[in-house]
Amino acid sequence: MNSSVCLLAELPESLHGALKTYLDRHPEWDQDRAIAAALSLFLMQNNSDGNAARVYLDTLFTEAV
């Protein structure tokens, strides 16, 4: 991922709790990486262009810095 934009989104509290639990158990992931993976997978599954697939794969196979 070459550049980023800031995104503000409201999530259901239960979804935020599930995300927090996941991140607590997987310290190699952070909130930005998890959201990018989820959004790119959604777009990839809904016939978006190839950029979504590239972002998805990058988030899965890139170690946290």
Is the pTM higher than 0.95? The answer reads: no
What pLDDT score was predicted for residue 62? 74
- Provide the pLDDT confidence category of residue 2 given band limits of 50, 70 and 90: low
* Residues 17, 23: Cα–Cα separation, whole Å: 10
